[in-house]
Amino acid sequence: MKYHSFSAVYYSLVLFCTVIGSTVLVAEPVQTNNNDLTLNANYQSAADKSNPFFLILHGTFASHQMEIISSMQSLLTDEGYGSLAITLSLGEDDRSGFFDCSHTIVSTHDNAEVELGLWMKQIKSWGFTSINLVGHSRGSAQIASYAKNHNQSINKQFLIAPLIWDKKYQQDNFRSPLKLPLEDVLKKLQANPQMQLKNQQVLHCTNTTVTSESFLSYYDEHPEKNTPTIIKSTTVHTKIYLGDSDPLSKNLLAQNESLEVNENINIRMIEDADHFFRDFAIEDIVSDMIDEVQ
């Protein structure tokens, strides 16, 4: 399907076809720009702009085309809700699909906030007034950070298998071609901001090249990446979904005490769900999200 610029796409995005008395919502790939980078997303309009709208963000190095995201958007469409599933650029022009680990990693964890802001501006220009954020895995931490800094713009946020960041875990599991502990590598890169690490494991990528800025962003404790810490004082209604077959769920539950005191936060465990919430699991989540926003 052909991509269009926002200057030409607005009217084509909101075309509707009436079949047997019901409205068929039209999905459309859309683009915007972050300086010299083209950003991609899939837009699902809705007939009533006052209805809740969902902005959806993928997990680490993924895209809006991954199964959990596309399934979620399809289910929301079936129920008549508009949505925008975005793909972070990760510092690359016109990125789609999973990040290619043969490329040098230049992105940073907090780049997402700028791009979320650009898409939020676009959603508002379409006329939607009740905007809800949805994130999966690392995307949950990134939308939680955005909501923390822009809470007046957000109706509710839904965090699916949210990222837990633990300094000791990072240190214990870190391996570097420099054969140095993580803390020493961080100090070395802080002192040499132009340096690149080669043949390095970074997040899901192995034997990759990464810039100092990018490595520091993903492995240092700043910016904040631990979702429970980000949301513990949130004023935004927050629903967390965990899978009972996801081994990472226990890491969030270990911090549940700090979340229980905030009446804006609720946690739901989804039965027979792993980290990617396939099939009936994602149906349960979407059904619950709709109940929450009605």
Domain annotation for the chain: domains and CATH numbers: 6-165+223-293 (3.40.50.1820), 166-220 (no CATH)
CA separation, residue 72 to residues 58, 113, 119, 172, 265 (Å): 11, 22, 18, 35, 22
What one-character DSSP code corresponds to residue 105?
Answer: B
What one-character DSSP code corresponds to residue 214?
Answer: H
* Nearest by Cα to 142 from 121, 168, 162, 167: 162
- Burial label for 266, CB within 10 Å (0-12, 13-18, 19+), is middle
**pLDDT surpassing 70 at residue 5:** no
d(Cα 136, Cα 286) in Å, to the nearest integer?
13
- pLDDT tens by residue, 206-261: 999 999 999 999 999 999 999 999 999 999 999 999 999 999 999 999 999 999 99
Specify the range with the lowest mean pLDDT, choosing from 132-136, 168-172, 274-278: 168-172
DSSP of 225-265 = --HHHHHTT--SEEEEEEETT-TTHHHHHTTHHHHHT-TTE
- pLDDT tens by residue, 72-96: 999 999 999 999 999 999 999 999 9
- pLDDT tens by residue, 152-210: 999 999 999 999 999 999 999 898 888 899 999 999 999 999 999 999 999 999 999 99
Q: Report pLDDT for 25.
A: 55
Q: Are 85 and 115 in contact (CB under 8 A)?
A: no
CA separation, residue 47 to residues 64, 280, 294 (Å): 23, 27, 16
Entry pTM: 0.91
Q: Report pLDDT for 26.
A: 58
What one-character DSSP code corresponds to residue 157?
Answer: E
d(Cα 231, Cα 262) in Å, to the nearest integer?
9
Q: Report pLDDT for 24.
A: 46
Q: Report pLDDT for 177.
A: 84
- pLDDT tens by residue, 103-125: 999 999 999 999 999 999 999 99
Residue 267 β-bridge partners:
240
**pLDDT surpassing 60 at residue 19:** no
139 vs 47 pLDDT, higher one: 139
**pLDDT surpassing 80 at residue 272:** yes
Q: Report pLDDT for 101.
A: 97
Q: Report pLDDT for 8.
A: 34
Residue whose entry in the numeric block shows the structure tokens 């890169």: 189
- pLDDT tens by residue, 30-71: 999 999 999 999 999 998 999 999 999 999 999 999 999 999
Tokens representing 119 are: 């898409």
Burial 186-222 (b: 16+ CB within 10 A, else e): beebeeeeeebbeebbbbebeebbbbbbbbbbbbbee
Other beta carbons within 10 angstroms of residue 95's beta carbon come to 20
